[in-house]
């Protein structure tokens, strides 16, 4: 089985597979199937008794589903992980892989509106059946909502000024495309750092549209519940907001980094880190795939 590199180049492929510590007869979940690059290698490490369940909410990913009797494709957001596993009569899993963020295919499909390189309708929906797109966020959200989105999801220090500018610009005409959005905010783009600024703006809107941080929290909690003792949780993130949630949850069992203790003072921690510091791509991989440069891979094991 060949990797669908035209759809998505899998990042830290071997490190992810090693992190899962695959048992040939185990049950594994890939909650971000995409082009199937990671899933193909997981499947190659399973025997006929092993199972692989792949999730992806993007209808385009369904075209890449694998032809194997022990492969199951679930066309759903991974926030509904537990429900779908129960429907498949799966009570426990031996490992789960999550490759977060936007796939190469989604960035390269200009019409989806994820990239700052092409003019396209303001969309940014990973699930095309969602009612709310980037257009609705930019043109309908209140000033306070926009301030919060740009401040917390884009980590932009001038979030209030950006929100006010959008309110003024959209009062004349709706902002319909990616280039129109960039043009509306061009006075805020620092010279020689405009690419980074627009990337932060797009990231903020995309996270809001897809509720990425909330569904990540739901998935991590459900994954931990479904993992068998010594089962592995392998998560790759691409920006600090995601990585902070994953790190806190693996290290301390909470998303805010607070340590929870029971009545006797014992730390309530469902996972143990396998690697204390995130695994990052080497220079050779980054040269092959520039989108790998911000990847951070964390691995944890379910406590007994």
| CATH code, domain carrying 270 | 3.40.50.150
Answer yes or no: are the C-beta atoms of 32 and 106 closer than 8 Å.
no
Query: Is 256 found in the same domain as 187?
Result: no
CATH number of the domain at 129, please.
Answer: 1.10.150.170
Number of domains making up the chain: 2
Kindly state whether residue 90 falls inside one of the protein's structural domains.
Answer: yes
Kindly state whether residue 70 falls inside one of the protein's structural domains.
Answer: yes
Query: Is 229 found in the same domain as 99?
Result: yes
Q: In the listed set 210, 243, 277, which residue is the last one of a domain according to the structure?
A: 210
Q: Could you list the residue range(s) of the whole structural domain that residue 130 is in?
A: 112-210
Q: In the listed set 210, 243, 272, which residue is the last one of a domain according to the structure?
A: 210
CA-based torsion, 37, 35, 27, 279: positive or negative: positive
Cα distances (Å, whole numbers) of residue 124 to 139, 210, 263, 296: 14, 8, 46, 23
Please tell me the distance from the alpha carbon of residue 147 to that of residue 153, in angstroms, as a whole number. Answer: 10
Which residues in the chain show pLDDT less than 70? Answer: 1-8, 103-111
Alpha helices for 130-211 (secondary structure H) = 134-140, 143-148, 159-172, 178-184, 194-210
- Residue 254 is predicted with a pLDDT of 94
- Residue 13 is predicted with a pLDDT of 94
- Residue 103 is predicted with a pLDDT of 59
The three-state secondary structure class of 226 is helix
Query: Is 176 found in the same domain as 130?
Result: yes
Q: In the listed set 157, 178, 210, which residue is the last one of a domain according to the structure?
A: 210
Please give the order of strands across the beta sheet that includes 227-237: 71-74, 51-55, 27-30, 93-99, 227-237, 296-302, 271-273
Helix (H) or strand (E) holding 214: helix 212-226
Query: Is 136 found in the same domain as 94?
Result: no
- Residue 262 is predicted with a pLDDT of 80
Kindly state whether residue 4 falls inside one of the protein's structural domains.
Answer: no
- Which of 63, 62, 51 has the alpha carbon at shortest distance from 24? 51
- Which of 281, 228, 225 has the alpha carbon at shortest distance from 249? 225
- Residue 105 is predicted with a pLDDT of 55
Query: Is 264 found in the same domain as 206?
Result: no
Query: Is 247 found in the same domain as 185?
Result: no
Please tell me the distance from the alpha carbon of residue 113 to that of residue 119, in angstroms, as a whole number. Answer: 8
């Amino acid at each position: 089985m060949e990797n669908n590199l035209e759809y998505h180049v899998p990042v830290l492929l071997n490190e992810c597979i090693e992190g899962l510590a695959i048992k040939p007869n185990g049950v594994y979940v890939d909650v971000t199937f995409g082009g199937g690059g990671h899933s193909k290698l997981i499947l190659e490490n399973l025997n006929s008794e092993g199972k692989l369940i792949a999730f992806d909410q993007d209808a385009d990913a369904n075209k890449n589903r694998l032809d194997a009797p022990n492969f199951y494709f679930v066309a759903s957001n991974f926030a509904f992980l537990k429900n779908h596993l129960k429907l498949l009569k799966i009570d426990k899993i031996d490992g789960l892989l999550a490759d977060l963020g936007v796939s190469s295919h989604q960035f390269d499909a200009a019409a989806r509106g994820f990239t700052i390189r092409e003019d396209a309708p303001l969309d940014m929906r990973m699930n095309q059946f969602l009612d709310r797109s980037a257009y609705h966020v930019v043109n309908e959200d209140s000033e306070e909502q926009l301030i919060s989105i740009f401040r917390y999801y884009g980590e932009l220090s001038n979030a209030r000024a950006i929100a006010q500018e959008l309110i003024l610009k959209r009062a004349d005409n709706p902002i319909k495309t990616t280039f129109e959005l960039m043009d509306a905010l061009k006075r805020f783009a620092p010279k020689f750092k405009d690419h980074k600024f627009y990337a932060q703006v797009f990231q903020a809107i995309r996270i809001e549209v897809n509720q990425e941080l909330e569904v990540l929290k739901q998935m991590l909690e459900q994954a931990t519940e479904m993992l068998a003792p010594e089962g592995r949780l392998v998560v790759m993130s691409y920006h600090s907001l995601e990585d902070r949630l994953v790190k806190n949850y693996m290290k301390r069992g909470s998303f805010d980094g607070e340590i929870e203790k029971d009545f006797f003072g014992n730390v309530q921690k469902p996972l143990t880190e396998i690697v204390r510091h995130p695994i990052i791509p080497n220079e050779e991989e980054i040269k092959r795939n520039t989108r790998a440069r911000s990847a951070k891979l964390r691995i944890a094991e379910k406590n007994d």
